[in-house]
Chains A and B, each alone.
Chain A
């Protein structure tokens, strides 16, 4: 079937090294041939911190690695939004057009899988309950909410719960979580309360950045809540 690149974002590679393997398994089950892009970063941490020169330096390497591919599936909504919406703007015209043409080929994992023609033939089964946390970038920058829900609804035996105030931020915000820890934690507490109230013990998100933050909060506060990425959940549902 299709030949795609799989971009394993830097922080996932660091914090959740198995995730790229899970994503690859899902894509291969859909019949795709997968080329891995790793060791690269979209530049978002620097960009969000106001360091645009550094963000461009780093983003350029990612675009170079992506140049030869017609679709670059990215297992993080936030990184996808960065590449699609902000990275090309770091170059002056006319160079921004070249960057934009590569950036437009980046697609978040949820959207790619939801639109995949072979999805219907994929048998997915995983009994249990999860609560979903959709990241703000996935929801508001990529409008991938429907894709995310559509995929989860295809998993046999899986009950998907939605938390109250689902549209509220988890308090991560990239370097915000480090630079404004008190505020970040205050926001996180409200999100953990809402997730916990659903009774689910596994939270699934298209963004591991939110999840790492929530997971670290849950661990520190002694709340039983495990954060799973969408590729991990789907890979388990394949088995």
Chain B
């Protein structure tokens, strides 16, 4: 059986992964921190509180959600296992033969795409990153950036082998090609499957975030939309959902909010909508006080972005749909007999994950508990290692332990390490343990050269304009939104319910919002009343209405190829805001 170490070794040797991943993740972590700092000071605490509350009242909130969904005519289906979830989706799909699927971690977890294809259903991954890793066939390497382990040349090569030779490997060209394939598929498919970032118990609505617009096309499918979501992804109310949204995009991709934040109300006329709520071990996790807080997770990926191990080996080394620190915690919990007991050991315990987590999950402490569980269960550590630890403990328990212990430790450090690891690694490991008591050379203190460190450039603190509407204008402008005096010709004109200063977002409400018209329009003009501009996303709560809503934060975009931002995926790049009445 291959374990983490074998996979990690392969990833490191094969492409020298970290050379590419390290700078990407360093930048992402710095940008995420800056983006979080732009939000309210208590954003993380409020998100953590909303998630902690949801975990505490999980079944109560699920009952409430079910009642509310019944009022909206949305089917609620609970699946105890992965197999049951797949069966329910197949039954709900009925005679659908062509299915457009959006990104969903729980769908990865239950192997949905594979299972549906086995059943003869044509499934297209419509997220650009998912489309790419589907071609590669090794699965996603990151929760929010599935293809981050592949460079543009490799992606072009994968597309060529799939019958689409492209002139260049420019991420714009590659992204637009996939966008076009996906767009055509959406014109002629029988159903759409999406995930959900959170289900709102009090109103029976779903919050779903995305950048490309494929989810917008999916949730507005004229006939059938199926949502697959984890049992834990419920939250009490709109305030809780907004608290989560305030930290989700900044933590995941260093964006203020994603291009689209769908607050799905009742289904559009003619559409049949269902939600499949997947347990698959979550109730068992909930029952264990040591691990239940891992159910707070909002799948942002901040823990892996910050993780030195993840950066060195990439997500594929984890051998699980969930990678990085969160993967090392939930994989063995979801699949106790799945051969992933070694994942909690794939950590230096540096604590960067716990520090990065926006909902306060003590990830590195859980890794420690999982290590103890694995040893106790006999899932890791052979007879030799067990005997070694016993001998070690005995040596340090001697009344005159000093000499014996020092000898043991010395033996352990110098020899033991080499004994337990396979011989193959010897040549590859350059480390040479220093001789004890080797005298240090004070002359080295004076031998320093100039400091040539390449430090990340820290942008000077912005001076923000004094009024909310001016701040809105600044932030929206940074996302590529124009502020013309009049609506551009042929623009679809819509009136906004509110706007957000800190994120440059605009809120649309309706029953429902016509997403397909929005994406089909050559340009979009949004009328915003300056009196409705709130500071932070949390301030949108009173404006959300009772039914369908959509928060737009700049035009659609993707960064699925080498984290290069490509604007204008599904839908127009041209977004204009008309301030009415205009500000002086």
Q: Do A and B come from one complex?
A: yes
- Contacts A10-B409, A51-B389, A185-B429 given; indicate if A179 touches B401 (C-beta within 8 A): no
Q: Which of A54, A173, A176 has the largest number of chain B CB atoms within 10 A?
A: A54
Query: Can you add 8 more A-B contacts, CB < 8 Å, to A173-B349, A186-B312?
Result: A48-B371, A51-B393, A57-B396, A140-B351, A179-B420, A187-B18, A190-B308, A197-B453
Q: Are B348 and A187 in contact (CB under 8 A)?
A: yes
Minimal Cβ-Cβ distance residue in A for B8: A183
B309 & A199 in contact (Cβ 8 Å cutoff): no
> Once the chains bind, are B392 and A54 in contact (CB under 8 Å)?
yes
Q: Does A91 contact B (CB under 8 A)?
A: no
Map CB proximity to B onto A50-63 as digits: 1 under 8 Å, 0 otherwise.
Answer: 11111101101100
Q: How many A-B residue pairs have CB under 8 A?
A: 246
> Is the Cβ of B437 less than 8 Å from the Cβ of A18?
yes
Q: State the Cβ distance, A106 to closest chain B Cβ, in Å.
A: 17
CB–CB B350/A173 < 8 A: yes
CB distance from A89 to the nearest CB of B (A): 10
Chain A residues touching B, majority SS: helix
**Could you write out 14 A-B pairs with CB less than 8 Å apart?**
A14-B406, A39-B401, A51-B386, A128-B445, A173-B348, A178-B416, A179-B345, A181-B421, A182-B9, A183-B313, A199-B452, A219-B431, A220-B429, A226-B444
Please pick, from A14, A53, A197, the residue contacting B436 in the complex, using a CB distance under 8 A. A14
Determine the distance from Cα of A72 to Cα of B501 in the docked complex, in whole angstroms: 52
Tell me which of B417, B448, B454 has the highest count of chain A C-beta atoms within 10 A of its own C-beta. Answer: B448
Whether A183 lies near B389 (C-beta < 8 A) is no
* A50 engages B347 (CB within 8 Å): no
B405 adjacent to A182 (CB under 8 Å): no
Chain B positions within 8 Å of A40 at CB level: 396, 401, 405
Q: Is B53 engaged at the interface, CB distance under 8 Å to the other chain?
A: no
Q: Is A112 an interface residue (CB 8 A)?
A: no
Which of B115-123, B319-327, B373-381, B532-540 faces chain A?
A: B373-381
Interface residue ranges, B against A (CB under 8 Å): 4-5, 8-9, 12-13, 18, 22, 26, 308-309, 311-313, 345-352, 354-355, 368, 371-376, 380-381, 385-386, 389-390, 392-393, 396-397, 400-403, 405-406, 409-410, 412-413, 416-417, 420-421, 425, 428-434, 436-437, 440-442, 444-456
Q: CB < 8 Å: which of A13, A127, A167, A173 contacts B446?
A: A127
CB distance from B36 to the nearest CB of A (A): 16
Minimal beta-carbon separation of A163 from chain B (angstroms): 6
CB proximity of B15 to chain A, nearest CB, Å: 12
Return the CB mask of A186-202 against B: 1 if under 8 Å, else 0. Answer: 11101000100111111
Contacts A47-B368, A50-B380, A164-B453: A126 and B8 contacting too (C-beta < 8 A)?
no
- Interfacial chain A residues near B368, Cβ < 8 Å: 47-48, 86
Interface: A129 (CB within 8 A): yes
A129-175 residues with Cβ-Cβ distance < 8 A to B are 129-130, 136-137, 140-141, 158-159, 161, 163-165, 167-169, 171-174
**Given that A58-B397, A61-B397, A180-B346 are contacting pairs, would A50 and B374 also be in contact in the complex, using a CB cutoff of 8 Å?**
yes
Residues A198 and B381 in contact, CB atoms below 8 Å apart: no
Assess whether B440 is in contact with A185, with CB atoms less than 8 Å apart.
no
Q: Does A224 make an interface contact (CB < 8 A)?
A: yes
| Identity of the chain B residue whose Cβ is nearest the Cβ of A13 in the assembled complex | B406
Q: Is A228 located at the chain interface by the 8 A CB criterion? A: yes
| Bound CA–CA A54/B389 (angstroms) | 7
Tell me the smallest distance from the CB of A117 to a CB of chain B, in Å. 29
Instruction: Known contacts A57-B393, A197-B454; decide if A216 and B445 are in contact (CB<8 Å).
Output: no
In the assembled complex, the CB of A78 is this many whole angstroms from the nearest CB of chain B, namely 9
A38 at interface (Cβ–Cβ under 8 A)?
A: yes
Contact of B308 with A168 in the complex, beta carbons under 8 Å: yes
A201, B448: Cα distance in complex, Å = 6
Q: Which residues of B contact A221 (CB under 8 A)?
A: 430
Q: Is A215 a contact of B393 with CB atoms below 8 Å? A: no
Question: In this complex, what residue of A is CB-closest to B370?
Answer: A50
Q: Judge whether B8 and A136 touch: CB under 8 Å.
A: no
Contact A39 B350 (CB under 8 A): no
Cβ of A236 < 8 Å from any Cβ of B? Answer: yes
B349: which of A54, A163, A176, A180 is its contact (CB, 8 Å)? Answer: A176
**C-beta contact mask, A28-59 vs B, less than 8 Å → 1, else 0?**
00000000001111000111111111110110
Given contacts A48-B368, A140-B350, contact A54 B393 (CB under 8 A): yes
Q: Answer yes or no: A25 CB below 8 A from chain B CBs.
A: no
A129-B372 Cα distance, complex, nearest whole Å: 43
* CB–CB A171/B308 < 8 A: yes
Of all chain A residues, which has the CB nearest B341?
Answer: A50
Across the A-B interface, the 6 shortest Cβ-Cβ residue pairs = A128-B445, A39-B402, A173-B348, A50-B371, A129-B448, A50-B375
A187 to B306 Cα, complex, angstroms: 13
| A123 within 8 A of partner (CB) | no
CA distance A52 to B447 in the complex (A): 45
Q: Could you say which residues of chain B place their CB within 8 Å of the CB of A171?
A: 308, 312, 348
- Interface residues of chain A, those whose CB is within 8 Å of chain B, are 10-11, 13-18, 38-41, 45-55, 57-58, 60-61, 86, 126-130, 136-137, 140-141, 158-159, 161, 163-165, 167-169, 171-174, 176-188, 190, 194, 197-202, 212-213, 215-217, 219-221, 224, 226-228, 232, 236
A-chain residues with CB within 8 Å of residue B381 when the two chains form the complex: 49-51
Q: Would you call A236 and B442 a contact (CB within 8 A)?
A: yes
> For residue A176, which residue of chain B has the nearest CB?
B348
Residues on A with C-beta less than 8 A from B432 are 216, 219-220
Partner of A183, one of B309, B434, B444: B309
Assess the A182–B371 pair: CB atoms within 8 A: no
A167 nearest in chain B by CB position: B352
Q: How far is the CA of A127 from the CA of B446 in the complex (A)?
A: 7
When distances are taken between beta carbons in the complex, the residues of chain A under 8 Å from B312 are 171, 183, 186-187
Residues of A within 8 A of B440 (CB): 202, 226, 228, 232
- A173 and B350 CA atoms in complex are apart in Å by 7
Cα–Cα, bound, A16→B410 (Å): 11
Chain B minimum-CB-distance residue to A187: B308
Say whether, besides A179-B421, A199-B452, A165 and B26 are in contact (CB < 8 Å): yes
B453 — which chain A residues lie within 8 A by C-beta? 161, 163-164, 194, 197-198
Instruction: Indicate the member of A126, A165, A183, A220 with the most B CB atoms within 10 Å.
Output: A183
Neighbouring A residues of B393 by C-beta, 8 Å: 46, 51, 53-55, 57-58
Instruction: State the Cβ distance, B176 to closest chain A Cβ, in Å.
Output: 35
Contact partner, A54, options B308, B346, B355, B390, Cβ 8 Å: B390
State in angstroms the CA–CA spacing of A110 and B345 once bound together: 29
B431 touches A185 (CB 8 A): yes
Kindly state the separation between the CA atoms of A127 and B444 in the bound complex, as whole angstroms.
11
Contact residues in A for B396 (Cβ distance below 8 Å): 10, 39-41, 57-58, 61
B454 — which chain A residues lie within 8 A by C-beta?
A: 164, 197
Query: Within the complex, what minimum Cβ distance (angstroms) separates A195 from chain B?
Result: 9
Q: Which residues of B contact A17 (CB under 8 A)?
A: 436-437
Query: Which of A141, A202, A216 has a CB less than 8 Å from the CB of B433?
Result: A216
With CB as the reference atom, state the residue of chain B lying closest to A168: B308
Do A169 and B352 have beta carbons less than 8 Å apart?
yes
Q: CA–CA, A44 to B189, complex, Å? A: 57
Nearest CB of B to A155, in Å: 11
A123 to chain B, nearest CB (A): 18
Least distance between A59 CB and chain B CB atoms (Å): 9
B417 cross-chain contacts in A, Cβ below 8 A: 177-178
Nearest to B317 among chain A residues (CB) is A183
Contact B406 A10 (CB under 8 A): yes
